[in-house]
Amino acid sequence: MKNKTSPLEIRIHGVGGTVETFIQPDAALADRIFKGVRPARLFAADKVVIAGTYSLTAFVPARLTRIDFIAEGVACWEFPAGISDMIELSEEEFREQAHRGDPEHSEKRDHPRVSGDLHVGFLEIEMVGGQQVFLGLESLVELPAERLKRVTFLLSAPSLHFRLRQGGIGVLNLGNLARFTAYPGPSQAPADAWPAHHKKGLTT
C-alpha cells in the first residue's frame, strides 16, 4: 500500500473499556509502522508492543477489542474479495442510513438484487465489554449463497478493518466479538438460524 503518512496516533482499546493513546510525530516512522501492520495477524501475536522514548508498553491481544491507526492521507488496506469500501459511522448516521426503526423504508433480506450491481449494507457490532461499532459497506451483489458466505467469512475472520472518518484505519479483534447484525441480512440464512425478528424496530 502507498501512503503519505502524517503524524500517527495509535489508540488501543481494552475489553474493559480502557483506551490508551500513543503518538508518533515522525512521518517516516509512522509510515514504517503502517507498512509493518498485517491486519489479519494483528491480534495473533503474543504481545502488541509499543516502544516510546521513556517507556515500553506491551498489551495482550486477547484482552483488546480494537486498535485505531489515526492519520491523514492513509490508504486503507485491501478489503476482502467483493467488498469495495467499509467505513465507520456514528450511531446517528447508522440509524438514519440503515433506516433503523423505520420499517417502511428498510430493505428486507429477500429484496431482489441484480448480480454485479453495487450494494450498500450496514453492520452493527457489539464487542465484549459492550463497545458498539457501526459500519457502512459497499459491495458487489453476488448470488444468495455467495452473499451468505461473504458475511460468514467477514465475521469468522480473526479481525475486521475499516476506514475511519477522521482519517486512518480501525481494526477490530473479532475474537472479542459479542454480537453482529447485518442490515439487510443476506437473503439466504444459515440452515440452523431461528426464524424470529427483533421485538422493536423491524417486525417482518
Top pLDDT among 55 and 111 is at 55
pLDDT value of residue 1: 42
53-94 pLDDT, tens digit each: 999 999 999 999 999 999 988 888 998 877 889 999 999 999
Question: What pLDDT is recorded for position 102?
Answer: 58
Q: Three-state SS string across 72-84, please? A: CCCCCCCCCCCEE
Question: Is residue 80 a contact partner of residue 156, using CB atoms and an 8 Å limit?
Answer: no
Q: Picking from 12-21, 101-110, 158-167, which range would have the lowest pLDDT averaged per residue? A: 101-110
pTM score above 0.85:
no
Cα separation, 87 vs 79, in Å, equals 11
CA 166 to chain centre: 15
Least confident of 75-79, 110-114, 151-155: 110-114
Buried b (16+ CB within 10 A) or exposed e, 2-25: eeebbebbbbbbbbeeeeeeeebe
Q: How far apart are CA 15 and CA 65, in angstroms?
A: 6
**Measured between alpha carbons, how far is residue 152 from residues 44, 149, 155, 185 in Å?**
20, 5, 6, 11
| Res 13: pLDDT | 98
